[in-house]
């Protein structure tokens, strides 16, 4: 049975050569552990500081996920979700991971059309995978017509 602290050290040492920024490895660590333990970052930090034990099955699951990351698999695919505009989207290898640039594009659309409630805009969402653009625009109450083949 391992501890949070031991796993954190193994995680850091395993991925340090794969990522230039140490902060990126730390962010990936918290994305993985908050997903596996279904808790927030503060809870993980507390468990780390207390060097709490991790049960055998969960520890093995974490190690398997770590090896996926070591093979350069994106964390979003490893945990099966990505965040976009504060919403969770299911992703896998058949779906592009939503990019920050796309989030910026959606923000621009929302800003450009926030005062125009009468005239819906037309959005053609073709082959986009997760559907994050059209879902976000619709959830933000933008009046639009969405065409999805």
Domain ranges of the chain: 2-79, 93-147
pLDDT exceeds 80 at position 103? yes
Asked if 36 contacts 61 with a C-beta cutoff of 8 angstroms, the reply is yes
Q: With CA atoms as reference, report the closest residue to 28 among 93, 88, 72.
A: 72
Supply the CATH classification number for the domain 2-79.
1.10.8
Distance separating alpha carbons of residues 143 and 8, to the nearest angstrom: 46
Cβ neighbors of 51 (< 8 A, separation 6 or more) are: 3, 4, 5, 6
pLDDT exceeds 60 at position 147? no
Element (H, E) at 32: helix 22-37
Distance separating alpha carbons of residues 69 and 66, to the nearest angstrom: 5
CA distance to 1, 43, 53, 103, per residue, from 27 (Å) = 24, 15, 21, 19
Cβ neighbors of 137 (< 8 A, separation 6 or more) are: 106, 109, 110, 123, 144, 146
Q: What is the pTM of this model?
A: 0.84
pLDDT level of residue 124 (50, 70, 90 thresholds): confident
Per-residue pLDDT, 97: 92
């Amino acid at each position: 049975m391992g501890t949070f602290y031991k796993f954190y050290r193994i995680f850091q040492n395993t991925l340090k050569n794969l990522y230039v920024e140490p902060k990126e490895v730390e962010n990936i660590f918290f994305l993985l552990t908050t997903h596996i333990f279904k808790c927030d970052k503060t809870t993980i930090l507390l468990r780390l500081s207390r060097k709490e034990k991790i049960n055998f099955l969960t520890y093995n699951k974490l190690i398997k996920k770590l090896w996926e990351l070591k093979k350069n698999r994106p964390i979003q695919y490893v945990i099966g979700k990505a965040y976009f505009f504060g919403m969770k989207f299911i992703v896998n290898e058949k779906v592009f991971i939503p990019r920050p640039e796309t989030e910026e594009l959606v923000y621009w659309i929302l800003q450009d059309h926030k005062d125009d409630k009468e005239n819906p805009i037309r959005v053609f969402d073709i082959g986009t995978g997760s559907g994050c653009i059209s879902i976000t625009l619709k959830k933000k109450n933008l009046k639009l017509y969405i065409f999805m083949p």
